[in-house]
Amino acid sequence: MDFKDLPQFRPAEIKTYHSNTYDRISPSTTKFDASGKTVLITAGATGIGYSISESFAKAGVARIIILQRRESVLATAKEALEKAYPNTKVETYSASQSDFQRMTEIIQSVGEIDVLIPCATYAGDMKPPTKDKKTEELAEVYMVNVVGLFHMVREFLALPATASGGPKSVIHVSSNASQMYFPGGSGYCSSKAAANQIITHFAFDEPNGNVKFYSLHPGAVWTALAEENVPQNAVVWEDINLPGDFAVWLAGPEATFLNGRFVWAAWDVDELIAMTEKVASDPNLLTITLAK
């Protein structure tokens, strides 16, 4: 399959597709109030996760908690962020998103979290055909991408209200793989679709509206995971700063109408805002569902 031929899956109302970050979602101008806020992000020390960590640091959050398995990359990220953004405290923990006991311990010890960003992902063996995949490996993919995500959010929701006030946010870093088939992708693609459904259910089951939930396709970004599975010339790669800045915008008040929805970092935010009434009137719009 030629990746250039894959569908774009954008709503008809979205005419503008951004490959680079832009002023409208700049952390320096966004309406997200970063004062006193704490952000916790898994896999936030490298790749897309680091870009998200940096964007929230640019926005001026008080504290960033980064979870990742490798101690070496955690130390490098902490040093770089604290040097560039001295007003933001960076704390790091070595942990896997699928280690439920460890995740519970960390979330409870952190105490106050305003924005939770599950970014860690596991693709497993991406070689076709599906019949040759091992059951144990598929289970491992789901343990990270679905069950680990569920556990993190559940523990996050059990925390008390934060001192900073205002609604909390969960920004699940998903993938457009949740919407498509590609060779070797049965575990990864299906787990991402399941994870999006988990986020939608959390959103629609949260009665008081004090927590907003989003699934975010970060874009086609050249990362270590992409390098392992996609030829570099297969697609036009996008700016790694785009998903980070878009995530800050999602955490702000302009995005609340998108609660429970799946959005792309490349979609223009003003064209999204113009869809507010349509989104409010259709609970299935921008979710994993059959196209109308």
Residue 255: closest CA among 27, 247, 219: 247
What is the residue whose two structure tokens read 């609970």? 283
pLDDT tens for residues 94-144?
999 999 999 999 999 998 999 999 999 888 777 778 888 888 988 999 999
- What pLDDT, on a 0 to 100 scale, did the predictor assign at position 185? 77
- What pLDDT, on a 0 to 100 scale, did the predictor assign at position 216? 95
Q: Which of 58, 133, 168, 192 is catalytic?
A: 192
What is the residue whose two structure tokens read 């009434």? 277
Q: With a cut of 70, which residues of the chain have pLDDT below it? A: 1-10, 165, 177-178, 180, 207, 221-237, 290-292
Residue 146, phi then psi, degrees to nearest 5 = -115, -60
With b meaning 16 or more CB within 10 Å and e meaning fewer, what string describes 95-134?
Answer: bbbbbbeebeebbeebebbbbbbbbbbbbbbbeeeeeebe
- Is 188 catalytic? The answer is yes
Q: Which of 85, 93, 188, 214 is catalytic?
A: 188
- What domains can you pick out in the chain, each with its CATH number? 3-281 (3.40.50.720)
- Rounded distance, CA 44 to CA 38, Å? 14
Beta bridge partners of 42: 67
Dihedral (CA of 136, 141, 143, 146) sign: negative
Between the alpha carbon of residue 34 and those of residues 160, 195, 258, the distances in Å are 19, 27, 20
Residue 181, phi then psi, degrees to nearest 5 = -110, 135
Decide if 196 contacts 287 (C-beta within 8 A): yes
Decide if 190 contacts 215 (C-beta within 8 A): no
- What pLDDT, on a 0 to 100 scale, did the predictor assign at position 24? 96
Instruction: Respond yes or no on whether the N-terminal peptide bond of residue 27 is cis (omega within 30° of 0).
Output: no
